[in-house]
Structure 1
Amino acid sequence: MIEIKDLHKSYKIGKNSLHVLKGINFSVEEGELVAIMGSSGSGKSTLLNILGMLDEADLGTYHLDGVEIKNLTEKTAANYRNKFLGFIFQSFNLINYKSALDNVALPLYYQNINRKERMERAMSYLEKVGLADWAKHLPNELSGGQKQRVAIARALAGQPKVILADELTGALDSTTSYEIMNLIQEINDEGKTILVVTHEDDIAHMTKRIVNLKDGVIIDDRKVKQVKALENV
């Protein structure tokens, strides 16, 4: 599903160059649930940006579902993101003046799906995350956990190949975090490929594989015995 080979990325800082990714080799099979860990400056955010087609590597190759992601125009990158990827963010990134239902339906607008089908599909995904009764509510009427459930429904609605979750529990208390991770585990058990960027060890162990980055290289990549999230609630 994801194949990265010898990936390098540097950034210009004044007259100097900061080498952030230093030859990353990394692959993810369809249906995996993977945690990417690393301290600040390890390169995990840069890697996530490249995976999300928000940035491009200097050297190396990135294939997503058999398609090489390279030299994309802004429009093509946006189309590929809409086709291949679903995003979940720590800050939820919901549109405050739109209802939960409209937030979930929004990615479908960019897929040129008619309004009736958009709303039906959005409602079905709100039902999936247990928020059908909150469909007409605005984000400021929802708790943090409910907002993240809306964000998960939005990520799923576009029926992406891969979900990229960036610190999805970072703004939540422990109990809510574990409830959200239980939902992620259920979605993964249905076959969805999910990458979770996290600095929290307990969250990482709720995935099935942990990849550790340090100073721009992968220092450890191992499968782990998955801790079921609800065991912690």
Structure 2
Amino acid sequence: MIEIKDLHKSYRTGATSLHVLKGINFSVQEGELVSIMGSSGSGKSTLLNILGMLDEADEGSYTLDGVPIKNLNERIAAKYRNKFLGFIFQSFNLINYKSALDNVALPLYYQGVSRNERMEKSYAYLEKVGLADWAKHLPNELSGGQKQRVAIARALASDPKVLLADEPTGALDTKTSYEVMDLIQGINDEGKTILIVTHEDDIAHMTKRIVNLKDGIILDDSRVQQVRAIENV
């Protein structure tokens, strides 16, 4: 599903160059639930941005579902993001003046899906995350956990190949975090490939594999005994 080989990325800062990723080799099979951990400056956000086609590596290769991701202009990158990827963010990134239903429908709008079909699919995904009764509510009428559930429904709406979650529990209390992870585990159980960037060890152990980054290299990549989130709710 994802194949990264000898990935390098540097950023210019004035007269100096900061080498952030230093030869990353990394693959993810369809249906995996993987966490990427690392302290600030480890390169995990840069890696996620490259996986999300928001940035491009200087050297190495990135293949997603058999498609080489390289030298994409913004139009093609946006097309591939909409086709292949769903994003879940720490800050939810919901549009404040749109209802939960309209927020979920947004990726389908960009796919050219008709309004009636968008609304039908979006309502079904809100139902899936337990928020059908909140479909007409605006984000400021929702709790943090509800907002993240809307964001997850939006990420799922376009039926992406991979979900990329950037600190999806970072803005939530412990109980709500575990409820969100229970939902994510359930989506993975259905076969969806999911990558989670997190700095929280308990959240990482709710995945099936932990990749540890430090100073731009992978220190450790291990399969772990998954802790079911529902046992901690």
Q: Is it true that 1:49 corresponds to 2:46 in the alignment?
A: no
Match runs of 1:194-233 below 5 Å = 194-233=194-233
Give the distance between the partners of 1:178 and 1:154, measured in 2 at CA: 20
TM norm structure 1: 1.00
State the SS of the aligned residue for 1:92: coil
Which AA in structure 2 matches 1:221?
D
State the SS of the aligned residue for 2:163: strand
Match of 1:76 in 2: 76
Q: Between the two proteins, what is the percent identity of the paired residues?
A: 83
Give the distance between the partners of 1:213 and 1:141, measured in 2 at CA: 38
Give the distance between the partners of 1:126 and 1:163, measured in 2 at CA: 17
CA displacement 1:96-125 (0-9 Å, x = unmatched): 000000000000000000000000000000
Match of 2:168 in 1: 168
Give the distance between the partners of 1:158 and 1:197, measured in 2 at CA: 21
Give the distance between the partners of 1:5 and 1:50, measured in 2 at CA: 13
Match of 1:30 in 2: 30
State the SS of the aligned residue for 1:127: helix
Match runs of 1:46-195 below 5 Å = 46-195=46-195
State the SS of the aligned residue for 1:41: coil
Moved over 6 A (4+): none
Give the distance between the partners of 2:231 and 2:37, measured in 1 at CA: 22
State the SS of the aligned residue for 2:212: strand
Which AA in structure 1 matches 2:176?
T
Over the aligned positions, Cα root-mean-square deviation in angstroms equals 0.2
TM norm structure 2: 1.00
Q: Give the CA deviation at 1:39.
A: 0.1
Give the distance between the partners of 1:219 and 1:183, measured in 2 at CA: 29
State the SS of the aligned residue for 1:149: helix
CA displacement 1:136-195 (0-9 Å, x = unmatched): 000000000000000000000010000000000000000000000000000000000000
Q: Give the CA deviation at 1:230.
A: 1.0
Which AA in structure 1 matches 2:99?
S
Which AA in structure 1 matches 2:105?
A
Give the distance between the partners of 1:60 and 1:39, measured in 2 at CA: 24
Note the residue ranges of structure 2 that are not aligned, 5 or more in a row: none
Give the distance between the partners of 2:42 and 2:100, measured in 1 at CA: 35
Which AA in structure 2 matches 1:21?
L
